[in-house]
Structure 1
Amino acid sequence: MSDDEAKEEKELDLSSPDVVTKYKTAAEIVNKALQLVISECKPKAKIVDLCEKGDSFIREQTGNVYKNVKKKIERGVAFPTCVSVNNTVCHFSPLGSDESVLEENDLVKIDMGCHIDGFIAIVAHTHVIQEGPVTGRAADVITAANTAAEVALRLVRPGKKNKDVTEAIQKVAAAYDCRIVEGVLSHQLKQFVIDGNKVVLSVANPDTRVDDAEFEENEVYAIDIVTSTGEGKVCNALSLLVILFLFLCSKFILLHRALEEKRARLGLVECVNHDLLQPYPVLHEKSGDFVAHIKFTVLLMPNGSDKITFHPLQELRTDKTVDNDPEIKAWLALGTKTKKKGGGKKKKGKKGDAKDESAEAEPMDTASNDAQPAE
């Protein structure tokens, strides 16, 4: 690698302020897009309309930024908006003819992504269509996903290993009498790469393995947590009307809903057969099971972890807790910020002991099920 190539590669990680700004700009847009879609999740709302609103908002907002830069940059949808209901796990993003609608008490998973110059911010959130607090098994499964996500946030840090996260999130889910869904992967993100080589496996088993990896400073990850009240095993539904196709290559994104449907039926099959498109199958748990999905993008900055995509949860009331598990409590008590090496402002304690104000962030309040993400 030449000196110029090495310099260019170095400038494309979080050591470049411009890169950080692009990640955070993409995150701000996708967070607002998520808020918009959630506000439209009402009984009788067509799922395809919700998906189109999410994608349209991202395209519109990204079109308003970086317009006057000398070098034209790509920007827009990094992952098409998906709205998956009840026991449907993920990737439901239908073509225009689909008539599926939401109903009262549906448990809805919304998944979407935005990019600026290939720097991707992804988010997924779970919302129940009802007034008042969420209770019962729906509350259990959402709280399990959120608590597991908070633990993952604290363990995805420089020096920790991917297998540490896999083991921890399974333990958290079990505390809520739920399971982590098999086959879900959390990936490192790079410019124009949504599925980097470093991977966190959701469930370790003999049939599914990933390479051991250690998290490093200036890396970016999409942490993907899916919990279920069922067995955590999924099946595929490979219907062309509901399958999602995403092709992120050579700085172009292809959305299947933008295609004329009859031609899409034939053309997409040929593209998949020739390995030109990557299929994302619609996944399902057993009917009657509840599935929750939480995904966030985290920047591993020199001063700690920066969670840039999220949305506040509804009020959740569950009779299950992790308060009796000292290991989970210890994970949740970890901060997300890094202590400064030397210097730093000191705050004296009652007995004259010094406390570093730049130290770790406040731990998550496990007694509150609507705890806000750590900043």
Structure 2
Amino acid sequence: MDKNINNNADEDSLNEESEMVKKLMKAGEIHAEVIEEAEKLIKPGAKLYDVAEYVENRTRELGGEVAFPCNISINDIAAHYTPVYKDEKTFSENDVVKLDIGVHVDGYIADGARTIDLSCSYNDLKKASEDALYTVIKEIVPPMNIGDMGAIIQEVIESYGYKPVSNLSGHVMEQYVLHSGISIPNVKEKSKDYIDVGDIVAIEPFATDGYGEVMDGNEKYIFKYIKSRPVRLPSARKILKIIEKKYPYLPFAGRWLATEDSKYKIALRTLMSSGCLYGYSTLIEKNHGMVSQTEHTVLITENGAKITTKR
């Protein structure tokens, strides 16, 4: 199994009939359908758990696989919240919800997000991240410096009177690799890094009425396998074997292991402390400001950026 895309893809590999492009576009088609259906489920009184389970099950029904757990981050939580097993949390009429989902077909990933404002009070905040995203996509001419992309995002968000979240960023992706090493900033930066033809890029502006930075929360609900190490706890050894088999490359949710072993939470803590797993902290706006997010995955071609996660 080839787990890496050649970022300097030749013309043939970017042809619409190539296997890579077909799988990438298929993942995007599934993503677009699932996120539209899921948005309709987000209403006051609905359970976050039910929406997340719907997203992940529906992704598989349509022929895709889950690239990372469904993120449902509310209000000042910018990212990395996914429901726990049988989570009883519900949406309220005052919530600003970031729905971030990932779909892959044979490792080719579609990553996209949108903001649902149940409060009807933050329309401009939502527009700020949306406008920033579509503006920077239209301006992409490869090769393009990532710092210049950040400057465009920052300028648009600030034009609405809000701040971009400076320590969150988009990312270049490869087959089975969600973050390949190059990040797309949401603010102007001096950088020697460029995106170029053949790159698969998730661009995700975050806007806030708060401080403009996120901090780590205390909770971790999403994990990633790092390496196998000796562990003493029997439940941890059992869970590690399951993770190595089912989730060797991409992030997974703790709740996915709930039916495997009743001690899965202890096992996950043990595996993190042993260096077998990385845990993603929830990311919270530093001044608890409200946060919006909009994201698309694009394929960089000689003619600019082709959105994969939009019908």
**TM value normalised by structure 1:** 0.69
Structure 1 match to 2:41: 40
Aligned-partner residue type, residue 169 of structure 1: I
TM, length-normalised to structure 2: 0.82
Shift of 1:46: 0.9
Query: Does 2:255 correspond to 1:257?
Result: yes
Q: Counterpart in 2 of 1:299?
A: 299
List alignment gaps of at least 5 residues for structure 2. 227-246
1:266-277 to structure 2, matched below 5 A, reads 266-277=266-277
Which one-letter code corresponds to 1:103 in the other structure?
Answer: S
Gap runs ≥5 in structure 1: 63-74, 312-375
Aligned to 1:165: 149
TM-aligned CA deviation for residue 13 of structure 1: 5.1
CA contact (8 A) 1:140 1:178 kept: no
Is the 8 Å Cα contact of residues 14 and 219 (structure 1) preserved in structure 2?
no
Residue in structure 2 matching 1:213, options 167, 179, 193: 193
Q: Which has the higher contact order (CA 8 A, sep 6+)?
A: 2
What is the number of equivalent residue pairs in this alignment? 282
Return the alpha-carbon distance in structure 2 between the equivalents of residues 125 and 189 of structure 1: 19
CA 1:49 to 1:293, structure 2 compared with 1: closer, same or farther past 3 Å? same
CA-CA distance at 1:310 after TM superposition: 4.1
Q: In 2, distance between residues paired with 1:13 and 1:90? A: 33
SS of corresponding position for 1:197 = coil
Q: Residues 286 and 267 (structure 1 numbering): CA distance in 2 closer, same or farther, change over 3 Å?
A: same
For 2:279 and 2:139, the matched residues in 1 are separated by: 31
- Structure 1 window deviating more from structure 2 (176-185 vs 285-294): it is 285-294
Could you say if the C-alpha distance between residues 204 and 158 of structure 1 is closer, same or farther in structure 2, counting changes exceeding 3 Å? closer
Do residues 233 (structure 1) and 209 (structure 2) align?
A: no
Q: CA deviation at 1:236?
A: 1.9
* Structure that is richer in strand per residue: 2
* Aligned 1:146-165 pairs, distance under 5 A: 146-165=130-149
Q: CA deviation at 1:279?
A: 1.9
In our comparison, the structure showing a higher alpha carbon Rg is 1
Q: Which moved more, 1:51-60 or 1:283-292?
A: 283-292
Give the alignment of 1:61-76 within 5 angstroms: 61-62=62-63, 76=65
User: Do the aligned residues in 1 keep the contact of 2:129 with 2:157 (CA within 8 Å)?
Assistant: yes
- Pick one of 66, 69, 74 that aligns with 1:80: 69
Q: Does the residue aligned with 1:43 lie in a helix, a strand or coil?
A: coil
TM alignment of 1:39-188, pairs within 5 A: 39-62=40-63, 76-129=65-118, 134=120, 136=121, 138-188=122-172
Change (3 A) 1:287 1:262: farther
Match of 2:254, as an amino acid? H
Check whether the contact 1:114–1:121 (CA below 8 A) recurs between aligned residues: yes
Conserved? CA contact 1:157–1:215, under 8 Å = no
**How far did residue 216 of structure 1 move?**
1.1
**What letter matches 1:245 in structure 2?**
F
Name the Cα RMSD after superposition. Answer: 2.7
Give CA deviations for 1:66-96 in whole Å, capped at 9, x if unaligned. Answer: xxxxxxxxx5100111111112111110211
C-alpha offsets along residues 130-184 of structure 1, whole Å, 9 cap, x if unaligned? 6xxx4x5x12211110111012212333122001011221111111110111221
1:204 Cα deviation after fit:
5.6
Mean alpha-carbon deviation: is it higher for 37-46 or for 249-258? 249-258
Tell me if the contact between 1:297 and 1:307 (Cα under 8 Å) persists in the aligned partners: yes
Residue in 2 that maps onto 1:332: none
Q: CA deviation at 1:245?
A: 1.8
The separation in 1 between residues aligned to 2:54 and 2:218, in whole angstroms, is: 24
AA aligned to 1:212 is: K
Structure 1 106/125 Cα, relative in aligned 2: closer, same or farther at 3 Å?
same
